[in-house]
Amino acid sequence: DTGVSQDPRHKITKRGQNVTFRCDPISEHNRLYWYRQTLGQGPEFLTYFQNEAQLEKSRLLSDRFSAERPKGSFSTLEIQRTEQGDSAMYLCASSLREQFFGPGTRLTVL
Amino acid sequence: AQSVTQLDSHVSVSEGTPVLLRCNYSSSYSPSLFWYVQHPNKGLQLLLKYTSAATLVKGINGFEAEFKKSETSFHLTKPSAHMSDAAEYFCVVSDPRRTGGGNKLTFGTGTQLKVEL
């Protein structure tokens, strides 16, 4: 399968814990995006990488969130001191032109 | 700022009848517009895109959409619904002027399509 993959698919954590998600983009894609989707809403843009450079961050991305793409390949999204409001589906997409989405990581914060 | 409004949160059709999912956009420039579909437990899939070429855009699985600048609309249609079309559909806009800055997508709130026998 040469699509975008995300790991884990599901994560349940307790409030205050840190979590990290991984995204593996399609191999030749130089652009990588993170989005967040809450119940009943469309995905909202969080941040964007071109190769290893993080070029844009949404105001939704508080200082508890950090994203990296160290070698311009896979990316990680870390949430520190999780809150119940962080419960959502976290989507990764990669592109040369059109964006191709992964299946998402569903986070539940208890 | 750019935005899209999906006029119906839920649409229900009978199998074999036409599908119409409505979307209006707001933009101060000529936008790029997309429709994505999301099946349960699957990733978002691109159905079709408009990028200022032909105003009638054909996509996968028999879907098409027409860009109407005068109405600021980009409605999605299909002549005959199939049970496998049941899913959530998102109208999406991006700014084609962004060079070197990526194409951040702005999603609508989605339309849940139900197809009944």
**Torsions phi, psi for B112 (to 5 deg):** -85, 120
Q: Does B22 touch chain A (CB under 8 A)?
A: no
Q: Are B43 and A35 within 8 A, CB to CB?
A: no
Query: In A, which residues are within 8 Å of B93 by CB distance?
Result: none
**Torsions phi, psi for A42 (to 5 deg):** -80, 160
Q: Does A55 touch chain B (CB under 8 A)?
A: yes
Query: In A, which residues are within 8 Å of B3 by CB distance?
Result: none
Task: Reply yes or no on whether the pLDDT at B92 is more than 80.
Answer: yes
Q: pLDDT above 70 covers what percent of chain A? A: 99
The pLDDT tens digits for A14-61 are 999 999 999 999 998 999 999 999 998 999 999 999 999 998 888 888
Beta bridge pairs of residue B115: B13
Beta strands in chain A (DSSP E): 5-7, 10-13, 19-24, 31-37, 44-50, 53-57, 65-68, 75-79, 88-95, 99-101, 105-109
